[in-house]
Amino acid sequence: MQKFFYLSKNRETLGPFSIERIKSMLASGQLQATDYVFLEEIQDWVSLLEFLPEKAPTKISKIKDTEVVIDENDWFVLRDQKRFGPYSFLEVIKMLQDQSVKEYDYVWKATMSEWQKVADVEDFSSSAIKMVSLKEDAPRIRRRYPRISLGSSLLIHNDQKVWKGESLEIGEGGCKILISSSSLQVGQSITILFKPNHLLPPFHAKCEVVSKEEKENITHYGVKFLHVEKQVKKAIKQIVKKAA
- pLDDT band of residue 142 (cuts 50, 70, 90) is very low
Residue 183: left if φ>0, alpha if ψ -120 to 50, beta else—which one? alpha
- Does the pLDDT at position 120 exceed 80? yes
- Does the pLDDT at position 77 exceed 80? yes
Per-residue pLDDT at 164: 87
Q: What is the pLDDT of residues 174-215, one digit of tens each?
A: 899 988 888 888 888 898 888 877 778 888 888 998 888 877
Distance from C-alpha of 220 to C-alpha of 235, rounded to nearest angstrom: 24
Q: What is the pTM of this model?
A: 0.48
- Name the nearest CA neighbour of 28 among 56, 53, 63: 56
Per-residue pLDDT at 143: 53
Distance from C-alpha of 237 to C-alpha of 165, rounded to nearest angstrom: 23
- pLDDT band of residue 60 (cuts 50, 70, 90) is very low
Per-residue pLDDT at 54: 54
Sign of CA dihedral 90, 92, 95, 96: negative
Per-residue pLDDT at 211: 84
Mean pLDDT, all residues of the chain: 77
The answer to whether residues 208 and 188 touch, using CB atoms and an 8 Å cutoff, is yes
Average pLDDT over residues 69-92: 77
Per-residue pLDDT at 105: 84
Average pLDDT over residues 22-51: 79
Distance from C-alpha of 32 to C-alpha of 25, rounded to nearest angstrom: 9
